[in-house]
Each structure stands twice: as C-alpha cells, then as structure tokens.
Structure 1
Amino acid sequence: MGVYYLIVNVDKKELLSPHDFDHGAKMAEWCYQGNRVILALHNLLENRWKGDRVYAVSDYALASYDSRYKAALSEALRGTGAKSLYAYASEHYTPLGPEDTDIEDHDIRYIYNHALKVFIDLEHCPRYTDWIAPLPLLIVMGHDAPAGGNFDFLPEECVDHVGTWCDTVRSIEVSRTPLKNVDYAEFRPGFTEVPTGRHYYIVNVDKRLLFGAYDLQLLSWVCCRCEMVHILHNLLAGDWKGDRVYVVANDALKGWEFPGNDELCAELAKSEEKGLFLYAEKHFTGLGAVVGTEDHGIRYLYNHALKEYVDLKHCPVSEEDRACIAPLPLLLTIGNVGDAALDLAPEDDGFEHMGKWCASVRSIEVSKEPLPGVDYPEFRPNFLERKERNAWSGPIIVTE
C-alpha cells in the first residue's frame, strides 16, 4: 500500500509510468538523479514537452482537496468528467516507455522557472545518499494526500516547496548550460531524506573512491560491529593499504594540509566545491554494494609512523554492549568539532584524539594477529560518549 505516481503531459496526452522503466511507482522509488524516469522527463522537457502542462500526479490527487495544486488540477480535468487525473491519464493517455524516449544522460543541469524568475542548479542539490531530483516534487499533485507521501523530508521546511510550481509549469525550461542574459535568483529547495546535521564520507584520495552509510552522521555508524567499520577494516587490509584514507565531514573546508597533500589542496582550491566531501561526491567513484561487509576478525590497528597500536579488544564497552565506538574512523576524521548532533563532543572521552592519525594515514596497517617483531606501546583512545556512559547502570568494562 502507499501513494503511486505517474508523470503526465496534459497537453500531449502522454505519460511516463515508473513501472515501464522497471521502478516502483512510489515517489521514493524513482525520484532521484540519474534514474531513467528523471532522465526521460528532463530530455522531454528540453524538446517535445517544452512549454506543456507536465505534472507528477498521484492516485490520491483529487481536485476536491484544498491544496496548492487545486486550480491546476481542476483545469487539467476540465471537460473530462473525471475526478482523478491519475485514473483518467491511465486510461486515456499514451504511455511512453524507455523505447519511446531518450533516457541518456545529456548533462542537463539547470531548471528555470521564468514565471517565478528562479533557477535550480542540480549540482547544488543535496546528494549524500539520496540525491533527490527536485523537479517532480515541485510539480507534484497529491503528495499531501491523506495516505501520505513517500518521503520524510528533512529539514521540515522542504515540505513547503512541494507542489509550488504546479501553477507555472508552462514557464519551466531545462538547460545544459546557464541561459544567456537571464539573471534569476538561485532556488535551492533542499529536498533530502538525510537527517540534518553533520555528515561524513570515507574517502580514498589515491584511488578516488568513497562510500558512506545511509545515515551519514558519525555516531550512527561507528559502532565496532557496524558494517561500515568492517568495510573500512577490510579495505585497509587489502587494496587500500598504504593509501590516504580519511573520514571527512560535509562542512570541512580545511584539515587535509598534510605532507604529500599539496596536489590535493591545490585541486580543491581550484574546485567549485572547495571541500573534500562535496568534491569527492562529484568526482570520486562510489563503492556501492561491491565491498564485503563481513567481520574478518581484524583486531589490531598499527600506526608505524607514530609507533603505536590499538587493540580493538581493549576498546571500552558497556556491560550490555550497548555501545562500542570503533576507534579507526575517529582517528581518521576531518571536520568533527563537536558542535553537531551525533558528533563526538569535547566533553566526551577520547575527543582530544579525533583525527590524530590523519597525517600518518599511509603508515596504518591492520591485522588479525599481533605483527611479529613489532614492539610498540599500546594506544587506548577510549572513545566513549559521556552522556551515554552516565546513563548506563553497569560499570564500563574492558573486554579481554
């Protein structure tokens, strides 16, 4: 059950059904950048559908609702005798599938609304893990239905933009490059499901790769038994050994000025993004689901430059094992200043060690067993959220 959508062209009596593009019809199943439905929509609006009344319409969109799209929906249904545009289009409009449309990515980047005198730069839309396509949500009818939409928008003010372009759809123009002699204000609706706060990617600067958890807030995924941590350990035990690997925050505009990073710093300084998080998001390759998430028993983390090691069995945990913060991501973190939700805070244990291993990341070696012939002192950063520790009834113990 849920709310289902079609993209309809009222003037040409044509429609795009996500089902025909091998996607589910709920908004969250197809409304993201790079999806073939979105590519078809953008390409049609650049050509045959330019200037037409085009809407994303749900099966709950009824003109009887007191909604911001009421006037546009009533006009679209005028003379049909129908109450539901979704039902009427399904029966009377011509469906266009992938074989009938251009689904190639032609680098359409700008969406203009000449009536509202604003434009959207798709490169400035939040990407993180969802990278929601803004246009369908701006021209949607029925997302405010009693059954509810398919996105939980965060921050809440994003909801105020849903459906606000329905009355001006004829004035929409998409473009690959900025339109000449058009000086409109940039509009950033900010549609995203990712919670507000500070977010982090794990990036490999040498191999130009990145990956992240669905919830990118730091303390959401740095549990010792989290798959993200297993992936990081496994990569450093294999192909990523000796590489520059960092856990970088989305708002960190500096912090990677380490020996050997001069080229990286120059590259970022010349970029539009400036920060490594956004730059990697645009220019690096995401690992996706190709990395093994199994726990292979990595226990020891060595830093040969600093001549110290961490034994993961000596990380602090509660008796109930409710939390065990993995030290390596925090030792490689850039941009954690402790002022955001789910960041380690200055009053938390181990905060002074945040990012300590970044400058010597190439000398990190992980292993299942102690390295023979290596006699370094043990380093125990003891990362622990004090607010959680104070809430526990049992003592903090060290597992052997």
Structure 2
Amino acid sequence: MKSLLKGVVDILDIECYISNCLDNTIVLISDRSTQKENMVGKLAKLADTHIYSLLDLKTYYAIIIRLNNNETAVIIPNSDSHSALESDLNILNITYKVKTLCKVIFETYTNSVAPEDDIYIENSIPTKIYLDNNEYLESINQLKFYNQKLFKSILQQNIASYTRVSKDISENNYIQSISENNEMIKMLMHEYSFTIARITELLNFSNREVMYIKKRLYGLVNRIDFSIELSYMLRQFFQSVERLVLIAPYYQNDASSIKKYIDLNISNRLHLDDISQNINIPLQSINRLFKSKYALTVRQYIMKQRIKIAMSLLVETNLSISDISKNIGFNEKSHFMMSFKRATGITANEFRVNNRHTQ
C-alpha cells in the first residue's frame, strides 16, 4: 500500500509522512521532506479526536488523517500562499478539496472505504503554542473549541451563537495571558481576520464584498491601540466582524449602507463627502436618505455612536479622557468634553466615577 500511496502523493506534489504511535516510527512516503521527525510526531498526536484535521500553522498548512488506531498520515501541501495575507485564494482552493484529498489518502493506504467525517479546521495560534509548550493547555484546548464554534456560527449566519462565543473567546485565560505581548496580539488578530476572510468566500460573498471585508479587517488590525485592554479590543473587533459578515448585504444605495459605513469607521474622520465617495451615494442625498429611515441626521448619529463608545471606554478601561477622545474620532479633547456633557448632562469624569462606583 505504501508504494501505491507514494505514487499518489508524488502526482499530487505533497509531502506525506506515516506516523506509527505503537513503535514510535515516522516513515517518509514522498520524495520531498521539510519536516523534522519530532514535529511530524507532534502533529500526528493532534489527530487523537478527529479523523481529518486541517491545521493552519501560519507559514504552512498540515493535513492530518487518522488511518487506524496506530497510524496517522501527516500531509504538507505545497503552497506558499501564507507569505501574504492578501494572497489567500490559492490555499482556499486547497481547503475546498481537503476532504477529497483525505479520503483518497485514507482509501489508498487502508484499502477500505473512507469515513465521511467533517474536516476539523484549526487556526495557527493555539496549535503553535500547543506544539511549543503546555503551560496553558486547558485554556488553549478551550480556545480551540470556541474557535470552531465561532467559525461555525459565521458559516450558519447565527448571530446569537456568534455573540456568545466571541464573548467567551475574549475572556479566555490564554487570551488574557498574552495581553502584554503586542506581537502575539497582532498575530492573533491577523489570524482571525485571515480565517474570517476565507469563510466569506465559502459563503459565496462576491469578490467585491470579500475584498471590502479584507480591507476593513486588516485595517482594524493595523490600527490596533495597544493601550486598550485586550478583552475590550477583541470585543470591538468581533463586533466589527458581526457588522461586516453577519448583518445586512453590502453596497446597497440606501440608508442602511450609510449606517454600516459609519459604524465601521466611527473612530476615523467622517465627513459626508467621505461617505459619499466610499459607498457611491450622491452627496446631496445622504442626509435625506438617512433621516428618512433613522430620524436622525448623519452628524447626529455619528455623535450618538461616539458618545456611546466613550461611555463604554470610560467604564471598562483606564484610558485617559484625552486618549478616549482620540480613539473615537475627536480631534480636540475640549470638543469631546463639551459634546459628552451636552449628551449626558454630566462630565466624562463624573460619568466614570459614578458608573464604576455602582458596578
């Protein structure tokens, strides 16, 4: 069977290893090899609970197939598409075909009908930490479970489930353990952005919609403010994903598309001409369309949303008033303080003291 399998993997141009947990051996099936035996062994152990697994290891992908109680196939597709987050369409083609590939390898090696199990997909951050150490193993395994639920909720367009599991991820102990590691935080956010962008293609979003989502998600990651608590940052990120992927179609020339654009850019410069140019609605029509649906002018809605975010930041973070005003799009602290008091009847400092005291 190994000789037949070698012919298959050579045709497919993939690396293939067979790991045997009974005698702790690793057999290279393909001509090409880039993996060390100890790494192949670690990857094989990840197949304990799944027949087919697709592991995203950031710089490459690994496909794990549990062939029987003792043997596991470790497959490394020949793809360098991880070299740039914007160039992910090649690997998407692989993910479409992973189950077929798994079944071919399984049936070629075992000479029996392959199981119809679903592909277990895992992202790189928990996998990398799992392979390196087990200090946070329980929290990491919990995070893996939450990630699966998160991606499933997006695929099923289940907003209630998405909201619950995104909160669980934000509060996960491992996530909190990296709160001081800026590089790891950014890597984690990039990973979620990358995976969610791929999911939108599986949901048959148009190319224009997918590129719009990528631009917004990667933009959010590149503008990360590391002075904000990680759990709050993640909640804001997941809320942006919800607005982008789970709520309402894109680029409809109506009031909802104006609102969507404002919500996604609430921390940025927001003038009517910016909105007009980005969503292709005539400048003179924006306020009329928006007010007819929401009973507010665009400026009133922007101010309302910014004050709402400021209230949350005042209670949930230790950011200074000056930093909060900048984070929600105010150029001047004095303008923010005046706007906040006009909207709430009290100063920002009074609001912070009163609400923290009551929690």
Q: TM-score w.r.t. structure 2 length? A: 0.31
Q: Which has the higher strand share?
A: 1
**Whose relative contact order is higher, 1 or 2, with alpha carbons under 8 Å and at least 6 apart?**
1
Q: Which has the higher helix share?
A: 2
